[in-house]
Structures are given as structure tokens and as C-alpha cells.
Amino acid sequence: MIVRSLLVSLSFVALTCAAHAQDVDAGKKSFNKCRACHQVGPTAKNGVGPELNGLIGRKAGSVEGYNYSDANKNSGITWDEATFAEYIKNPKAKIPGTKMAFAGITKEQEIKDLTAFLKTFDKDGKESK
């Protein structure tokens, strides 16, 4: 009986963790909201917004050739998962004065999935899964 209860509990924990895991494919779909302004991949270029290759670990306002707002350049941010999650919920609240005109993504799971997708691209746009 104890073994059965333990197995049921472990199964529940495993399912709960799986439900909250990052989903790269879902993140790729979510990136469609970003695609009008941003690119990723080996041929990514700056557009309305900077290319997003190698975003996590990069200093804000540092993509060569992109004309950032002073607010972004002077934010002192180095992008990590937590900072990006806070930013993408409401860019203008995180960096007042940013040029980014985007209402934000508020669903926690969607943010996790988008982050997982962006993390697959290194600074040169090479994709790894």
C-alpha cells in the first residue's frame, strides 16, 4: 500500500513538472508575435527591432548596427531568463523610454516557451535543440 501511494505521488509530481516544462515548438509559434520586428537564425538581420540571436547573456542595447533608444542602451540590463520574462510582459514598464511598441505577453507558460525557443539560437544564429 505504501509503495502504491509513493508511486502515485511520484507520477503526479512527474506530470506536474512536465506540464510546466519549456516547449521549444510552442515557443516557435509564439515567436510569430515577434517576427514582424525581430529575426533569429543564421541570416537574421536588424529590422524594426534588433535580431535576437544569442539574446540570453547579452547586454541590452549591444547589437551592432541597431539604433537603440537611450533608455535601452543605458538600462544596465544583461538578458537572463528572469529579466526577459519581466520585460516581455510589459516592455515599457521594464525599460521606460524603450522604442519597443509591443503590448507584451502575459502568460507565464508562453513566456517560458518563447524563451526556450530563443535560447536555441547562439550569437551567430546557429540553432541547437
Whether 42 maps to a domain, the answer reads yes
DSSP assigned state of 58? P
d(CA 89, CA 113): 14
Answer whether residue 99 is part of any domain. Answer: yes
**Is 8 domain-assigned?**
no
Whether the model pTM is above 0.85: no
- Average pLDDT of span 2-27: 59
CATH code of the domain containing 75:
1.10.760.10
Q: Output the nine-digit C-alpha cell for 56.
A: 540570453
**Is it the case that residue 14 has pLDDT exceeding 80?**
no
Residue recorded with cell 537574421: 44
Dist CA 124 CA 20 (whole Å): 29
pLDDT tens per residue, range 29-75: 999 999 999 999 999 999 999 999 999 999 999 999 999 999 999 99
Phi and psi at residue 59, in whole multiples of 5°? Answer: -75, 135
Domain around 44 = 23-118
The answer to whether residue 81 sits within a structural domain is yes
Q: Which band of pLDDT confidence, cut at 50, 70 and 90, is reported for residue 21?
A: confident
